[in-house]
Structure 1
Amino acid sequence: MMAVKTELVKIKDTLSRRRHKRNTEVQKKKSVMKEEICRHSQTESDIQSASLKAIQGIKLKEQKLLDELKEMTDKHIGQLKADIKSGEMSVQMYQQQAELIDQALQSECDMDVYEMYQGCEAGDVEAYGDADVKERGKITKVTFRQDTDKLSKSLDDLQLGEIDIMYEGVLDLKATPVLHDTIGVRVAGDSNRPSPCDVTVMVVNDTDTVVVTDWTNKSVKSFYTRNNQTRHSKLSLGGKPWNLTKLTHNRVAVTVLNIKQIVTVEVNRDLVLLSTITTSKQYLGITPLTPSTLAASSQSPPCVDILDMTGNVLRSISLLHNGNNILQIPVNLCITRTGNILVSDGGTKRVVCLTPEGDVVFNYSPTGDITLKSPRGITSTSTGDILLTDYYLDIVIHLTESGQFVRSILTQQDGINYSRGVCVDGHGHVYVCLSRKGVIKVFTCKH
């Protein structure tokens, strides 16, 4: 019976962990839902604003046509009024002339008849008729000509905007990656050649924003495009930043070496330092577990710690295998879609997947031609696939969710050289930090 009770306690503990994990997922979904409701309201307003601008533009064109119509119609009517008045005067003169001729014909005086005849011969009657001659440049009629096909095409071509659906981490990893862009990390005020260590992409105010840590210039930088112009922001730190991770849609956490700090930064038009967390250890990698906890990796001692947002260590994970540490230099971390922690370890040259409780899910330590030399940047997509950079192999490796090697999707032939951080965005792009070149290469790898 004691064994049964012990087993039930284990089952209860497992259920408790699952409940906690699922509750964390639910809270994250609630947070995302709240953001989506706010985003919907803002997007709805943006669509209405775009529509109003288009309507105002059409109204201006309508008023311009109406003003032109009135101007031409008033001119035409004015000309017609002048012609009518002139015509009526001519009619009156003709009538008067005819009456004079009648009087002459009825006169018994031959002289009166002869004088009237001479007057008509001199052209007085024809002169009255000259008023009927049409003047050049007179308006004959005012009409509205409309090309309905052209108007219909213009309306079809009218772009108020597009509904852009973001699918985080959706990649066609079987496709051949194509270089899409190269982002230079050097900005005004840099005193050293930039060395990008880690990168992430965020959608802030409907703008794709690339956030990167620059090791040599002790700063976090962001790059984005607004009004067809490339812009940037730079936040200087007291030490050298290494790993960064997204906390919310516009906040990141960054590990800062040499001074045992984790800083949180708000990503807007300008980068804003929100908080500085002083830690008891020097942390390298960092990734969020829940809205209130982080996982961070340390080299001394080699471990992965679970921290609260004030830097307190809630739990420390150290792994031994046959008496040896599996973790020696855990340089980068990321979270999987199932809530596990991926660790790239530069000391043991492996990738380890851990549960938040410290259990090993898989341990990727290849041999032969694909033996890792210096694994660095690591990220997981929404489909569970894993991308890993190797600093000295100059490659980006694709692993399955269970840690099986698939292929090297990027190599030296693609310009990969001394690669560190890696991430994916919702447009099917892969971003790779090339530390010695001071650039971020962006590759298209989508459906």
Structure 2
Amino acid sequence: MIKVKEQKLLAELKEMSDKHIGELKADIKSGEMSVQMYQQQAELIDQTLQSECDMGVYEMYQGCEAGDVEAVGVADVKEKRQIARIMFRQDTDKLSRALDDLQLGEIDVLYEDVLDLKATPVLQDTINVRVAGDTYGANLFDVTVLVVNDTDTVVVTDDNNNSVKSFYTRNKQPGHSRLSVGDPPWGITMLNDNQVAVTVPDTREIVTVQVNPDLVLLSTIKTSKHYYGITSLTPSTLAASSISPPCVDILGMTGHVLKSLCPGQPSRYILKIPTFLCTTRTGNILVSDWGSTCVVCLTPEGDVVFTYSPTGDTTLKYPHGITSTSTGDILVTDHHLHRVLHLTESGQFVRNILTSLDGVQYPRGVCVGGRGRMYVCTPDGVKVFTCK
């Protein structure tokens, strides 16, 4: 019995060690990737300066820090006249009067409601996504939620109507916006507080969109592959998934491939049809692959952290949308089994948090908002659940 207990404790210790070592390795590799990107930026600056292209130098100059601008100004002055001494005389009376009248602004505190995944989800609302201008019934693929000017804004991709749509409530009145992207969009990811990126596989494009909460097209990025899933890794890098060949690529914001992740090569493909992605709180990439009916967690370098591919009652039949919460928990939808599964951060099954009994039929995209809400794309619209 002592030996059995010893083996059990050693196994638990190894599991905890592997988990923490994996997280540390992911942090290190994420840092190395950031350093690499900064080096590329420095090389780009050098190339621009050597090119002597006035427009290129001006655009680079705009991105420089304010200290650089001041340095240039001082140099110009020194060429004209030598500065012997600079003195600052403080007018305390003037300063005091100015401070009395100074209005710095207002402070708004937004408390994040963490989704309680142990609680029973309650359907709060179903957002009708059919809007004026639609030719066909909506067919939603992915969803994300932004808080724009304190307004919760749900942004979805509608395959049937070749459009990205936003839905919100402002001044107690529901509103929406519709942006046509020409061809069927697929994945969506939040870039910052009011911008998203959307994949358009058929035309090999990624479009960036500003959310005001009405939608405004910012740019169209041409890519070398047909990308489906997409997730933001850093402010300057994206991860996007391709079906042919099956892989996950790390992209710069101009669409160039920094690294291609094809785990399992050459002996076997772990990825077959990776169509939905998300980023974990530790910077890893979660891949929902309905070709191999599994969920794969990859580091940005392509190492496999875990693969969720069980059998029996917890098996996956047609995994689609995937998201990771602020606590590290994972939610993944199963389109054919009409379920939303809850996995731990290490890829262990917890429970079916939503089923067809909760009104979830053929779910696709899923995301979690900052106010303790869960959003699921269904043929009926976007189902909004609370778990408090």
Matches within 5 A, 1:163-182: 163-167=109-113, 170-182=114-126
For 2:133 and 2:215, locate their aligned partners in 1 and report how far apart those are by CA, in whole Å: 16
4+ residue segments displaced more than 4 Å = 13-16, 21-24
1:445 equivalent to 2:387? Answer yes
5+ long unaligned stretches in structure 2: 1-24, 37-102
Superposition deviation, residue 15 in structure 1: 9.5
Q: Which has the larger radius of gyration?
A: 1
Residue 354 of structure 2 is matched in structure 1 by 410
The secondary structure found in structure 1 opposite 2:313 is helix
Counterpart amino acid of 1:166? E
For 1:193 and 1:14, locate their aligned partners in 2 and report how far apart those are by CA, in whole Å: 42
The secondary structure found in structure 2 opposite 1:325 is coil
The verdict on how the C-alpha distance between 1:425 and 1:18 changes in structure 2, with shifts beyond 3 A counting, is closer
Compute the RMSD of aligned alpha carbons: 2.1
Counterpart amino acid of 1:236? S
For 1:270 and 1:250, locate their aligned partners in 2 and report how far apart those are by CA, in whole Å: 10
Superposition deviation, residue 227 in structure 1: 1.3
For 1:311 and 1:222, locate their aligned partners in 2 and report how far apart those are by CA, in whole Å: 25
Instruction: Give the TM-score normalised by the residue count of structure 2.
Output: 0.73
Q: How many residues align?
A: 298
For 1:16 and 1:366, locate their aligned partners in 2 and report how far apart those are by CA, in whole Å: 30
Residue 231 (structure 2) aligned to one of 287, 294, 315:
287
Instruction: Give the TM-score normalised by the residue count of structure 1.
Output: 0.64
The verdict on how the C-alpha distance between 1:44 and 1:414 changes in structure 2, with shifts beyond 3 A counting, is farther
Residue 215 (structure 2) aligned to one of 262, 271, 274:
271
Superposition deviation, residue 289 in structure 1: 1.1
Residue 261 of structure 2 is matched in structure 1 by 317
Per-residue CA deviation, residues 152-187 of structure 1 (Å, 9 max, x unaligned), is xxxxxxxxxx843135xx211110000111101000
Residue 67 of structure 1 is matched in structure 2 by none
5+ long unaligned stretches in structure 1: 1-12, 25-42, 48-161
Residue 95 of structure 1 is matched in structure 2 by none
For 2:364 and 2:332, locate their aligned partners in 1 and report how far apart those are by CA, in whole Å: 9
Matches within 5 A, 1:9-408: 17=29, 19-20=31-32, 45=105, 163-167=109-113, 170-320=114-264, 323-408=267-352
For 1:270 and 1:313, locate their aligned partners in 2 and report how far apart those are by CA, in whole Å: 31
Superposition deviation, residue 18 in structure 1: 5.8
Counterpart amino acid of 1:184? N
Superposition deviation, residue 324 in structure 1: 2.2
Alignment check: 8 A CA contact 1:200 1:423 kept: yes
Superposition deviation, residue 319 in structure 1: 1.8
For 1:408 and 1:44, locate their aligned partners in 2 and report how far apart those are by CA, in whole Å: 49
Superposition deviation, residue 413 in structure 1: 0.2
The verdict on how the C-alpha distance between 1:187 and 1:356 changes in structure 2, with shifts beyond 3 A counting, is same
For 1:254 and 1:16, locate their aligned partners in 2 and report how far apart those are by CA, in whole Å: 29
For 2:275 and 2:153, locate their aligned partners in 1 and report how far apart those are by CA, in whole Å: 24
For 1:21 and 1:314, locate their aligned partners in 2 and report how far apart those are by CA, in whole Å: 10
Per-residue CA deviation, residues 199-233 of structure 1 (Å, 9 max, x unaligned), is 11101011111111111011000011111110001
Superposition deviation, residue 297 in structure 1: 0.3
The verdict on how the C-alpha distance between 1:419 and 1:426 changes in structure 2, with shifts beyond 3 A counting, is same
